[in-house]
Amino acid sequence: MLFKGFIGFLILLALGIGWLLYLANRNEARAEFRTPMSGQLVNADGKMVHVKIDGSGPPLVLLHGASGNLHDLTMGLTPALSDRFTTIAMDRPGLGYSEAFSRQGATLEQQAAVLAAAVKELGYDRIYLLGQSLGGSVALQWALDYPDMVAGLVLVSAPSNVWDTELGTLYKINANPVTGPLLRLVVSAFPPNNLVQKSLEEVFAPEPISQGYAARLGIGLTLRRATQRANALQVAALKSHVRLLVPRYGELDMPVQVVHGLADTVVPYEVHTAKLANQIRDITVTALPNVGHMPHHTHIDSVVQAVDALHSQVGLRP
């Protein structure tokens, strides 16, 4: 009797997992149908990178933050810049439609190497580089590792120094090799819309979420299991990678423009940019009162002005 009960339990478990897999596969297919690739795939040393190029003029590479994709930058920032710059928006490894570096995640160094290879494959040897949030950390790594390639740097709400707070509980669970796969399966099968809405409110706070942001970003893409894994591993390892960057900031000899909201609770200004201002020689900081983590949506003009100011300093030609 006990044996039959155990067999029955296994059958129910298999059916339950099968149902979750069906729902997850269906939702992920729907997400990709609703938000398809908008650019082109570039082979970067054997890794496929999704890139969207617009406009004309000096090349400006745009890197998005955690839990995002290139749509975060093309829905507002690219249209404001593409009349005078060739904007090159990129999905970072494992996010959007770019191939993951590995199932173990990707360091800042690995991300910078793959993305730099993709830009070189496109034929650009010298660029302006803009990174928002975690994309800003990747941009700092890129500028340090490939200084001859980066003519100037724009950082928006970027983690640049070591912080004291611990990794969030959901990120810990998601990055764990045992608990992560189950959490990712459940999230993909049953999208936590209320949690997503709350997270967006926290990221934009104290300002409201930009109208239509979630739909235009393609939130469903971020809830795919592979994307959840890549994102969680990158975020979990970020502090240790930033710690390695800090002693190298004195090496940066290109102009750096920084835009950061003083009310940013995701990447606090005082912990990051306030310190960075004393760590880089040629740096200009635009600190925005009562602005949160997303000034590239809520205060696009300030970010555009930083890019234009950088171009005035450098004068990079197409």
Give pLDDT tens digits for 226-272. 999 999 999 999 999 999 999 999 999 999 999 999 999 999 999 99
Q: Looking at the whole model, is its pTM more than 0.85?
A: yes
Residue 19 lies in a domain: no
Q: What angle do CA 26, 111, 312 make, to 5 degrees?
A: 115
pLDDT the model gives residue 11 = 62
Could you tell me the CATH number of the domain that includes residue 143?
A: 3.40.50.1820
pLDDT the model gives residue 168 = 86
Residue 1 lies in a domain: no
- DSSP-derived pairing of the beta strands 59-63 and 127-132: parallel
Residue 263 lies in a domain: yes
Q: Which two tokens stand for residue 225?
A: 């299991």
Residue 176 lies in a domain: yes
Total domains in the fold of the chain: 1
Residue 53 lies in a domain: yes
Give the max Cα distance, the chain. 81
pLDDT the model gives residue 18 = 85
Rounded Cα distance, 71 and 90, in Å? 9
pLDDT the model gives residue 66 = 96
- DSSP-derived pairing of the beta strands 150-156 and 256-261: parallel
Bridge partners of 260, per DSSP, are: 287
Domain with 100, as residue range(s), is: 32-314
Residues of the chain with pLDDT under 70: 1-14
pLDDT the model gives residue 82 = 96
Rounded Cα distance, 284 and 29, in Å? 44
pLDDT the model gives residue 54 = 98
Residue 6 lies in a domain: no
Residue 24 lies in a domain: no
Rounded Cα distance, 171 and 314, in Å? 39
pLDDT the model gives residue 113 = 97
Residue 251 lies in a domain: yes
Rounded Cα distance, 152 and 313, in Å? 9
